[in-house]
Amino acid sequence: MKKWSRYSLLIESEKHSCYFLFNTISNLLWELDSESAKILMDLRDNKISCEDLDDDTKALLSENKIITDSDDTELAKLKLLKHYHRMDNSIMALTIAPTLECNLRCSYCFEQTHPNIRMSDEVEDAIVDFIKQHSSVWNLQVTWFGGEPLLYFDRIESLTKKILSIQTIKNYKAEIVTNGVGFNAEIISKLIELHIDSVFVTLDG
Ligand code: SF4
């Protein structure tokens, strides 16, 4: 029998006068009015059961993992998927720091003890060779990291160009973790051609 998932969170936003529903497994995020939120709160707090919901609502909640037969099964599925990807030699995921420099000086930063060095041409070529050596890999995912990677955007451009020219790579995706300070219109306009489709801005930094 379905029940509220422990991975579903219902959060009241006083600022927006609404509720948000988030599920950490499906990544679903819904904005809810107070009437819908009340029904879900009752479900979460066991004041009503899933059997009290109409079939469409039940199907929608189930599809998005808000309610589940078993949280343990959902967790086991995630673990299995993780192991499956680890054994799949067609996928490679690399985290690459074009530079260890940063334009901020956050007091808690573990990076501060690192030297302010930038990636050399030799290291760039070594990365390309490393990818080529793994000829079974056709699906490559790169996370640009730092320091602050935007401080050496030229390197991101040159290395991406070389990666895209590797014949065996059929699917290339990238993301960037940045403090966002260095963004400007020119850099933003280049993200698509560099296949950077996710940007994580570390607000604390
Ligand atoms: S923005 Fe990030 S890398 Fe830069 S100093 Fe702050 S925490 Fe460190």
Q: Is the pLDDT of residue 194 over 70?
A: yes
Q: Buried (b) or exposed (e) across 25-45, using 16+ Cβ within 10 A? A: beeeebebeeeebeebbebbe
pTM: 0.71
More confident residue, 111 or 95: 95
- Average pLDDT of span 36-62: 95
Please give all residues whose beta carbon lies within 6 A of any atom in ligand 1, as ranges.
Answer: 102, 104-106, 109, 111, 146-148, 179, 202, 205
Cα 71 to ligand 1 centroid, rounded to whole Å: 36
Cα 107 to ligand 1 centroid, rounded to whole Å: 9
pLDDT at 116: 86
Q: Name the 3-class secondary structure at 64.
A: coil
- Among 148, 177, 201, name the best residue to mutate to test ligand 1's pocket (greatest count of ligand atoms within 8 A of Cβ): 148
- Domains of the chain in start order, with CATH, are 3-73 (no CATH), 88-201 (3.20.20.70)
Cα 26 to ligand 1 centroid, rounded to whole Å: 30
Mean pLDDT estimate for the chain:
94
Q: Report residue 143 as tokens.
A: 């996370």
Question: pLDDT digits over 149-188, tens only?
Answer: 999 999 999 999 999 999 999 999 999 999 999 999 999 9
Residue in 153, 175, 164, 30 with CA at minimum distance from that of residue 101: 153
- Kindly indicate the confidence band of residue 16, based on its pLDDT and cuts at 50, 70 and 90: confident
Give the contacts of 183 (CB within 8 A, at least 6 positions apart). 150
Q: Is the pLDDT of residue 37 over 80?
A: yes
pLDDT at 204: 72
pLDDT at 86: 87
pLDDT at 3: 95
| β-sheet bridge partners, residue 178 | 201
Q: How far apart are CA 149 and CA 190, in angstroms?
A: 14
Question: pLDDT digits over 68-78, tens only?
Answer: 999 999 999 99
pLDDT at 83: 92
- Average pLDDT of span 122-131: 98
More confident residue, 131 or 15: 131
Q: Is the pLDDT of residue 199 over 90?
A: yes
pLDDT at 205: 52
Q: Name the 3-class secondary structure at 5.
A: coil
Cα 102 to ligand 1 centroid, rounded to whole Å: 6
Alpha helices in the chain (DSSP H): 34-44, 55-63, 71-87, 121-133, 153-164, 185-190
pLDDT at 193: 96
- Among 179, 183, 204, name the best residue to mutate to test ligand 1's pocket (greatest count of ligand atoms within 8 A of Cβ): 179
